[in-house]
Structure 1
Amino acid sequence: MLKYREAGLADIPRLQVIRAAVRENVLSNPGLVTVPDYEEHIAGPGRSWVCEEGGVILGFSSAHPQHKSIWALFIDPAHERRGIGRELLDRAVAWLWSHPELDAIRLTTAVGTRADRFYRAAGWTDVGRSRSGEVIFSLPRP
């Protein structure tokens, strides 16, 4: 049975494993995402959520209100297509909307990927490209 909860600092090693295991949006340099980055999104101003099954984390999402963004949404490739990503995204978005000062939120992902199609299907709007060529998505406050 799937269980969702807020992430804790002790979850960081598993989150790093999941982030490194993805088939798309692969980090060209894994050193670019550091332990302090995860800490900021767990115990700092950001928040993160995990999905577990049998005590094993299958995926996670992270949001940051000051950056007005979804920082991460990654699922262990062995557990994709189970609705985990959508639930984790919904939790992160709902938490961001609990900050009344936010009128829109953003995220970026690689162009032409399943993630690109996933966010479009979830109602996010393509508003341009980042300096690195990723698609920038925006979601206005409902």
Structure 2
Amino acid sequence: MIIREARVEDIPQIQVVRNSVKENTLSNPNLVTDKDCEEFMTVRGKGWVCEINGKITGFSIVDLRENNIWALFVDPDFEKKGIGKKLHDIMLDWYFTQTNEKVWLGTSPNTRAELFYRKAGWYETGMHAKNEIKFEMTFENWINKRTI
């Protein structure tokens, strides 16, 4: 298992992972274009991938402009192997070296993602978009979580 920075040439495999998930699915896969991925990875923020035997099995992307976790997804065939946690942690470690601003994300209620974020120390701040739970993480909470 290799965790590394995402590259533009990873986008086709990133899209495969994004469209293979069973929860937090896109209503229309064309809503997130390759160009969107490239912009969020290279202009607005940064991304990481997990690679196993040359195959991308998960990815994360953070947006510094909107202080938002834009994506964190794992191929369903590779769930429960710690990939999501590793991608989450490297992403937040990097994010908080760039800014001390809190970061937020939205995820569907009653999903494994909701439980994942709660366990990771995110706190619920209300609802967002189309019936998503909005979570936030502050610099202080992240630093305290990482030093425990």
- In the alignment, which residue of structure 2 is the partner of 1:59? 58
Instruction: Determine the structure 2 residue equivalent to 1:134.
Output: 132
Using the size of structure 2 for normalisation, the TM-score is 0.91
Amino acid at match of 1:135: I
Distance of 1:61 and 1:23 partners within structure 2 = 17
Distance 2:2 2:105 in 1: 25
**TM-score with structure 1 length normalisation?**
0.95
The DSSP-based 3-state class of the residue aligned with 2:65 is: coil
Structure 1 unpaired stretches of 5+: none
Deviation at 1:131, TM superposition (A): 2.9
Q: Distance in 1 between matches of 2:92 and 2:129?
A: 24
Consecutive unaligned residues of structure 2, counting only runs of 5 or more, are: 141-148
Offset of residue 41 of structure 1:
2.0
State the secondary structure of the residue aligned to 1:108. strand
Percentage of matched positions with identical amino acids = 43
Q: Show the counterpart of 2:143.
A: none
Equivalent positions of 1:34-49 (< 5 A) are 34-49=33-48
Matches within 5 A, 1:52-131: 52-100=51-99, 102-131=100-129
Q: Distance in 2 between matches of 1:9 and 1:123?
A: 31
Q: Within 2, Cα distance between the matches of 1:4 and 1:16? A: 17
User: CA shift at 1:66, angstroms?
Assistant: 1.2
Higher alpha-carbon deviation: 14-23 or 30-39: 30-39
Offset at 1:65? 1.0
Measured in 1, the distance between the counterparts of 2:60 and 2:129 equals: 23
Q: Kindly indicate which of the two structures has a greater share of residues assigned to helix.
A: 2
Show CA shifts across 1:51-110 (max 9, x none).
Answer: 11111111000001111111000001000000000000011111110123x321101100
Equivalent position of 1:32 in the other structure: 31
Q: Shift of residue 14 of structure 1?
A: 0.4
What CA distance in whole angstroms lies between the structure 2 residues aligned with 1:95 and 1:63?
9
**CA distance 1:103–1:43, shift in 2 (3 Å):** closer
Q: Which runs of 4+ in 1 moved over 3 A?
A: none
Cα offset, 1:121, TM superposition: 0.4
